[in-house]
Amino acid sequence: MAAALQTLGGGIGITLHWIAFTPTIEQQATEEQKKKWLKLAQDVAIVGAYAQTEMGHGTFVRGLETTATYDPSTQEFVINSPTLTSTKWWPGGLGKTANHATVMAQLYTRGKCYGPHNFMVQIRSLENHQPCPGVTLGDIGPKMESNGNDNGFARFDHVRIPRENMLMKFARVEADGTYVQPPSSKLAYSNMVYLRGTFVMSAAQALASATTIAVRYSCVRRQSEMKPGEPEPQILEYQTQQYKLFPQLAAAYAFWFASWFMTQQHGSITGSMEKGDMSGLAELHALSAGLKSYTTAVTARGIDVCRMACGGHGYSHASGLPALFGGAAALCTAEGENTVMMLQTARYLVKCFAQSQAGKRLTGTVAYLSAVQPSPVAGNRNMSDLGTLVAAFQHRAARMVRHAAMQMQGEMQKGKAREDAWNSCSVLLIKAAEAHVHSFVVRNFAETVQTVEVDESVRAVLTSLCQLYSLYGITEHAGDFLKDGYLTGRDIDAASSHLSAMLARVRPDAVALVDAFDLHDKILRSVLGRYDGRVYEHLYEWAKKSPLNKSEVHESYYKYLQPFLKSNRAKL
């Protein structure tokens, strides 16, 4: 049953039940509370939404307005939406599907506010699915994509819930209203860290789907003449088509491997946190925020490149690419708006840079910041060597982090407040954080292809893909590498020619590389990306099913066109 509903997920807004509501119970509820709600959620005996964002606040969680005020006389929390902008707005499934929600609200007890905490609130009757007393619910209306998902709104008019409905794994309120501090105030945000980590895999899968569609179609589609008189070639024979698609294909693999690392990191760091060791939380937050931001942004752009590479048929919903793009675009905003997330990573990098300046040896994904950076040397580098490519990306990131941090220090030395210095350097900070995440993705890609247990012939293909991804990044951001002379113009030229060679080398394996994603036609939902390649027949069948083709002459002719034509003809 649960599995069936999981597939139904895209239809009636149950997706967030699985990816946000249930994990929030797992991560924020006590053992006692898990006994009460976790199995109900896992067996879909209740359906939940993750209700955090409000009409007036999504990014700034500390600014949320919904209140949860503790009443010691009844040992209940009173959940209230005090203003219009406090209306919960956007949560998936909140409009019509969910009968429960974890509600993020400002906790008040004994007249003092302790910030945002999560509360379990039943929002609809389990008998007739009507909204519970004091709860107003609805759908927020059509969106860019995913309109099968009822992103909804909710208002609470002094709704009372038992004290035990506060998710109390970290912070607690005792029966008399005493607030018990959590080990870290940010543990209430831990489910966002988890979800951002899952977005990296969502991005990888979306880009894998788009490149599967575009590469397969590029082998079916023949167009133009490469040489006069010769048959029309597969469009994948054009180097420009390879230059559009293969970097996206390489990025799909890179992000897939990055999500493996993210999952492993999340598991080990949350494991240590369970034992009270919070030391890894800051790095986990910075990595998940940066990777979520970087991979979703590259994926959304990459899917649109794949759409354009399929010409007119790419623009048809038959291709599946517009829907993929709409879904990926949402990932750039949901679960932490991308700019804000990349600034969180920048915040961590500035802190680490200051620590390395004070002599601390850095570890983890920022270790390279305190490594002695090789001084810029003349060209003649081996630009096809993965070690050389990784070092170049780390040098670029270290230089940009140092530059942004020093710029900020300079602003403060001129007398600016830290917050003003931060704001006036935030474009530099974003670029530095992006360079940092990019260098992590390249290093992780290189380490994975060198260590993953595969046949040597497969390793060779993956190595070419990793070189292609890295060389594409260097040529696309050449200025960053040339700025301090670390790479020379000759190095960049070498990178460009190696990139061309990699395009040609990947070409014979391109279809095998997308087939390896093993995406069933039912998942791809694309006429252009069909495994059997029978595009044109199925495109025609698909078009014939269009609702407009139900009648030979559409009713709009009689209503609008016929009178319009008649009146125009009468004037002749």
Ligand X SMILES: CC(C)(COP(=O)(O)OP(=O)(O)OC[C@H]1O[C@@H](n2cnc3c(N)ncnc32)[C@H](O)[C@@H]1OP(=O)(O)O)[C@@H](O)C(=O)NCCC(=O)NCCSC(=O)CCCC(=O)O
Enzyme catalytic residues:
335
Count of residues of this chain found to bind ligand X when the rule CB under 6 A is applied? 26
Strand partners of residue 103: 51, 119
What are residue 460's phi and psi, to 5 degrees?
A: -60, -40
Interacting span for ligand FAD (CB under 6 A) from 108-116, 177-185, 326-334, 459-467: 326-334
Which CB sits closer to ligand X, 58 or 529?
58
Which CB sits closer to ligand X, 161 or 192?
192
Shortest distance in whole angstroms from residue 570 CB to ligand FAD: 51
Query: Does residue 285 interact with ligand X by CB under 6 A?
Result: yes
In the list ligand FAD, ligand X, none, the entry touching 40 (Cβ below 5 to 8 angstroms by class) is none
Shortest distance in whole angstroms from residue 333 CB to ligand FAD: 4
Query: Does residue 348 interact with ligand FAD by CB under 6 A?
Result: no
In the list ligand X, ligand FAD, none, the entry touching 193 (Cβ below 5 to 8 angstroms by class) is ligand X
Binding ligand FAD (rule: CB under 6 A), the pick from 52, 205, 242, 464 is 52
Give, in degrees to the nearest 5, the angle at Cα 257 between 252 and 261.
140
Interacting span for ligand X (CB under 6 A) from 254-262, 308-316, 334-342, 564-572: 334-342
Per the CB < 8 A criterion, the answer to whether 266 and 194 are in contact is yes
Shortest distance in whole angstroms from residue 523 CB to ligand X: 17
Shortest distance in whole angstroms from residue 398 CB to ligand X: 20
Could you tell me how many helices (H) and strands (E) the chain has, helices first? 22, 11
Query: What's the CA dihedral at 5, 10, 14, 16 to 10 degrees?
Result: 130
Query: Does residue 85 interact with ligand FAD by CB under 6 A?
Result: no
Query: Does residue 86 interact with ligand FAD by CB under 6 A?
Result: no
Binding ligand X (rule: CB under 6 A), the pick from 336, 368, 437, 469 is 336
Closest C-alpha among 401, 384, 390, 472 to residue 435: 401
In the list ligand FAD, ligand X, none, the entry touching 469 (Cβ below 5 to 8 angstroms by class) is none
Query: Does residue 335 interact with ligand X by CB under 6 A?
Result: yes
**Alpha helices (H) in 310-358, listed in sequence order:** 311-315, 321-331, 338-357
In the list ligand FAD, ligand X, none, the entry touching 571 (Cβ below 5 to 8 angstroms by class) is none
Binding ligand FAD (rule: CB under 6 A), the pick from 23, 48, 91, 473 is 91
What's 87's DSSP letter? S
Quickly tell me which residue has 């940009």 as its tokens: 400
Which CB sits closer to ligand FAD, 52 or 448?
52
Query: Does residue 28 interact with ligand FAD by CB under 6 A?
Result: no
Quickly tell me which residue has 């010691």 as its tokens: 72
Give, in degrees to the nearest 5, the angle at Cα 31 between 29 and 34.
60
Q: Is 311 among the annotated ligand-binding positions?
A: no
Give, in degrees to the nearest 5, the angle at Cα 260 between 257 and 266.
140
Q: Tally the residues of the chain.
A: 572
Question: What's the rounded Cα separation, in Å, for the pair 517 and 82?
Answer: 49
- In the chain, the N- to C-terminal Cα span, in Å, equals 67
What's 561's DSSP letter? I
Q: Is 92 among the annotated ligand-binding positions?
A: yes
Per the CB < 8 A criterion, the answer to whether 173 and 163 are in contact is yes
Which CB sits closer to ligand FAD, 185 or 388?
185
Query: Does residue 566 interact with ligand X by CB under 6 A?
Result: no
Strand partners of residue 76: 71, 162
Question: What's the rounded Cα separation, in Å, for the pair 195 and 259?
Answer: 12
Query: Does residue 296 interact with ligand X by CB under 6 A?
Result: no
Shortest distance in whole angstroms from residue 286 CB to ligand X: 7
Binding ligand X (rule: CB under 6 A), the pick from 192, 250, 328, 441 is 192
DSSP letters, 159-181, are EEEEGGGB--SSSEE-TT--EE-
Query: Does residue 154 interact with ligand FAD by CB under 6 A?
Result: no
Write the CB contacts of 314 (distance below 8 Å, at least 6 apart in sequence): 214, 217, 306, 307, 308, 321, 528
Distances (CA, A) of 163 to 33, 159, 174: 12, 12, 8
Quickly tell me which residue has 């959590």 as its tokens: 182
Query: Does residue 549 interact with ligand X by CB under 6 A?
Result: no
Which CB sits closer to ligand X, 124 or 266?
266
Count of residues of this chain found to bind ligand FAD when the rule CB under 6 A is applied? 22
Query: Does residue 340 interact with ligand FAD by CB under 6 A?
Result: yes
User: At 138, which helix (H) or strand (E)?
Assistant: strand 135-139
Q: Which two tokens stand for residue 106?
A: 């400002």
Query: Does residue 252 interact with ligand FAD by CB under 6 A?
Result: no
Shortest distance in whole angstroms from residue 27 CB to ligand FAD: 15
Shortest distance in whole angstroms from residue 281 CB to ligand X: 5
Closest C-alpha among 185, 223, 199 to residue 309: 223
Distances (CA, A) of 158 to 76, 81, 175: 11, 8, 20
Interacting span for ligand FAD (CB under 6 A) from 73-81, 87-95, 254-262, 497-505: 87-95
Query: What does DSSP say about strands 100-109 and 48-51: parallel, antiparallel, or unpaired?
Result: parallel
Query: Does residue 147 interact with ligand X by CB under 6 A?
Result: no
Shortest distance in whole angstroms from residue 329 CB to ligand X: 11
Which residues carry a binding-site annotation for FAD? 53, 92
Site of interaction with ligand X (CB under 6 A): 16, 19-20, 50, 52-53, 58-62, 92, 186, 189, 192-193, 281-282, 285, 334-336, 340, 344, 347, 351
Site of interaction with ligand FAD (CB under 6 A): 16, 20, 50-53, 57-59, 90-92, 151, 330, 333-337, 339-340, 343
